[in-house]
């Protein structure tokens, strides 16, 4: 048995040094470095670091995800997307999403379109329609002939417990007290929680101040993506979204779906809806609710690869 470590006024530091000297394997692990390959992509300015975890054994920890997302010390992105093999029969891939704050989330519509381009560009598949496992269920994105990607985002969910949202009533409109202000919102899950409010002008809407207050409101126990929607006509809206764990992004795919669904439910819009974000346009098709329940939401838009490279993960994050 090793003798006890000596006591010292600087006990903790000396104990750690002695432990490293006594166990070289720990010292080696502490100083080793790791290089990973990634692609930088975006969907209408909503940008991603995309990782192939099939050909390289790397899924980021929350600390590593925050480093990669940092726009000063890392690559910089709104979310990190990870491509893995799926263990489900008949499913092509597993797709995981980490926000810039390091938290793993259920779904990302702009990311799903980038996912399709990434797996084809990396030679992981030659399919144009791909079955993908996500934390919120299966999606089937399809590469169109013009290079855009259509994603079946699944059916929206409106039950408060499914979002989740704390309320005693199931309604299309809810009143939410934010500080001294009371606002009207609609809530919906597109595999992740969304709040949508109608505003007169998205350019002057208080997205930067009201957004984070809605995101972390106690009535949303898992936080929420806060959407600000301006209705232009029955087939066009302008949209800004303060995303959970990422802040305001130039575009939000699930947020576009949520806004279009809310507008159609409130009889303000008709399908198809062109959603104009600060990063570009998305087309959302939703045929409403039938006797069998809400119909799936179809989202179509572009995806762009910016560059591919390698980055070294800092030693203290390994």
List the one residue out of 91, 140, 133 whose CA is nearest residue 113.
140
Pairing of strands 132-134, 93-99: parallel
**Does 77 qualify as catalytic in the annotation?**
no
CA distance 215 to 4: 51
Q: Which two tokens stand for residue 113?
A: 């379109």
How far is residue 222 from each of residues 54, 153, 214, measured CA to CA in Å? 30, 20, 12
Which one of 108, 114, 131, 257 is the catalytic residue?
108
Contact 196/164 with Cβ under 8 angstroms?
Answer: no
Peptide bond into 164 cis (omega under 30): yes
CB 261 within 8 A of CB 156: yes
Query: Residue 187 has which token pair?
Result: 């809530």
The rounded distance, in Å, linking the Cα atoms of 305 and 47 is 10
Residue in 77, 114, 252, 257 annotated catalytic: 252
How does strand 181-189 pair with strand 174-178? antiparallel
| Two structure tokens written together for 184 | 């009207």
For residue 36, the SS3 value is strand
Phi, psi of 18 (to 5 degrees): -65, -35
Strands 193-198 and 225-233: parallel
Q: What does 177-192 look like in DSSP terms, one character per residue?
A: EETTEEEEEEEEESSS
3-state class (DSSP) for residue 114: helix
Would you give the DSSP letter of residue 84? E
Residues identified as active-site: 108, 252
């Amino acid at each position: 048995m090793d003798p006890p470590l000596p006591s010292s006024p600087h006990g903790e530091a000396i104990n750690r040094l002695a432990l490293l000297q006594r166990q070289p394997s720990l010292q080696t692990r502490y100083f080793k470095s790791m290089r990973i390959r990634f692609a930088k992509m975006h969907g209408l300015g909503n940008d991603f670091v995309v990782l192939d975890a099939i050909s390289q054994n790397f899924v980021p920890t929350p600390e590593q995800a925050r480093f990669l997302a940092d726009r000063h010390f890392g690559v910089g992105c709104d979310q990190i997307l990870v491509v893995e093999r799926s263990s489900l029969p008949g499913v092509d891939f597993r797709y995981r999403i980490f926000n810039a704050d390091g938290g793993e989330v259920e779904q990302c519509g702009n990311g799903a379109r980038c996912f399709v381009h990434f797996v084809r560009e990396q030679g992981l598949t030659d399919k144009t329609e791909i079955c993908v496992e996500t934390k919120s269920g299966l999606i089937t994105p399809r590469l169109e002939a013009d290079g855009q990607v259509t994603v079946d985002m699944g059916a929206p969910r409106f039950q408060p417990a499914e979002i989740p949202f704390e309320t005693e009533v199931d309604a299309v409109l809810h009143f939410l007290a934010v500080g001294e202000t009371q606002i009207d919102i609609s809530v919906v899950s597109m595999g992740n929680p969304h709040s949508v409010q109608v505003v007169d002008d998205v350019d002057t809407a208080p997205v930067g101040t009201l957004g984070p207050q809605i995101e972390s409101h106690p009535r949303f126990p898992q936080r929420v993506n806060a959407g600000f929607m301006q209705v232009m006509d029955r087939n066009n809206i302008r949209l800004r979204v303060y995303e959970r764990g990422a802040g305001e992004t130039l575009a939000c795919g699930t947020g576009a779906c949520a806004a279009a669904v809310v507008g159609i439910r409130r009889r303000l819009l008709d399908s198809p809806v062109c959603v104009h974000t600060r990063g570009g346009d998305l087309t959302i098709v939703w045929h409403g609710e039938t006797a069998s329940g809400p119909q799936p939401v179809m989202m179509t838009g572009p995806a762009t690869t910016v560059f591919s490279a390698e980055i070294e993960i800092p030693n203290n994050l390994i």
